[in-house]
Amino acid sequence: MKLKLTATFAVTSLAALSFLAQPSPAAPKAAAEKPGAGALKTNIPMPVFAGLKFGMSLEQIAKLNDKDLDTEFKKKFLAASPTQSLQVEDELRDKKAVFRRSRIEFLDTPTGIDQSALKGEYSYGNKESLARMPARVKEDGKEVPALHFFFFEDKLWKIYQEYKLGAKSSLGGDFDSAIKKLSKVFGAEPQKLAPDFQKGQIFPEAMWKDSDKIIRAVDRGDVLGLVFVDKSIQENLPRLRTHQMVDQHELDKDVKAATANPPVNPGPPAAEKDKAKKDAKKK
């Protein structure tokens, strides 16, 4: 079944969602989910790059990005003079290097990502990492959203895209409008999820599932997070995330005991206080 996005969405804001135009020709199979909110009848193809798969390494994804950039820069090279070609070549090489240099390892030391909306999407000390591609506008004018690739042991398991919402966004001005349009594209209403801070979910979400992936729409106000998750990894997170990071600001238990406020001495019983007052008057 083909879903014609161009009739519904403007190309500029949903360039990276063009993969939703029709199900992947490789294997549109029935989802294993039981019928219900968020259960999809066919598998949704992966976003961003043709050939992108869960389990890929950062370098494998970087090569897909290289190919995409080569295609984008082709017109620049054809229009450039011999001298300008060297400059275009340098620009292309720099753009290709950005993704490769972007890896952040979540070891045992807190990172600046903890202060971002991505907090809760990763854990420390469990061989997890993140690589990012900044939002950009291609040579043909198409907008590409900011992209975040999450890895376990250098194997891709989650892709997080960020789309601006507002009056000029073809996804709509707010989260509810975006969900209506995405539901039409996916062919099903989502399951709605309230924030759950204990599970690391800090925003309201809408969720769909097909046979091998979970698709989450994250309500961040004027930004929509669209997240594609490997279902097999998500369902095994408790087993994969065995290391719990220690809060470095928390006091050691012995220090806590030593610095705890001592119990307040209640003083002598009331009867003894009265006797003491009487004795004082006699004197």
Q: In this predicted model, what pLDDT tens digit does every residue of 151-178 receive, in sequence order? A: 999 999 999 999 999 988 889 999 999 9
How would you classify the pairing of strands 128-133 and 104-106? antiparallel
What pLDDT shows up at residue 99? Answer: 96
What band does 75 get if pLDDT is binned at 50, 70 and 90? confident
What pLDDT shows up at residue 160? Answer: 98
How far, CA to CA in Å, does 258 sit from each of 176, 247, 249, 255, 271? 52, 19, 17, 5, 34
Q: Mean pLDDT over residues 239-262, rounded?
A: 64
Contact 43, 27 (CB under 8 A): yes
Sheet holding 104-106, edge to edge: 104-106, 128-133, 146-152, 155-164, 223-230, 213-219, 205-209, 191-193
Structure tokens at 11: 């190309």
Per-state percent for the chain, helix, strand, coil, to nearest 5: 35, 20, 45
pLDDT over 60 (residue 35): no
pLDDT over 80 (residue 55): yes
Q: Does an H or E element contain 88, and which?
A: helix 82-101
What band does 253 get if pLDDT is binned at 50, 70 and 90? low
Strands, E assignment, the chain: 104-106, 128-133, 136-137, 143-144, 146-152, 155-164, 191-193, 205-209, 213-219, 223-230
In degrees, to the nearest 5, what angle opens at C-alpha 53 toward C-alphas 242 and 104?
A: 50
**How many residues does the structure list for the chain?**
283
| Distance from the Cα of residue 137 to its chain's centroid | 21
Across 94-98, 143-147, 234-238, 246-250, least confident range? 246-250
What pLDDT shows up at residue 81? Answer: 87
What's the pTM?
0.77
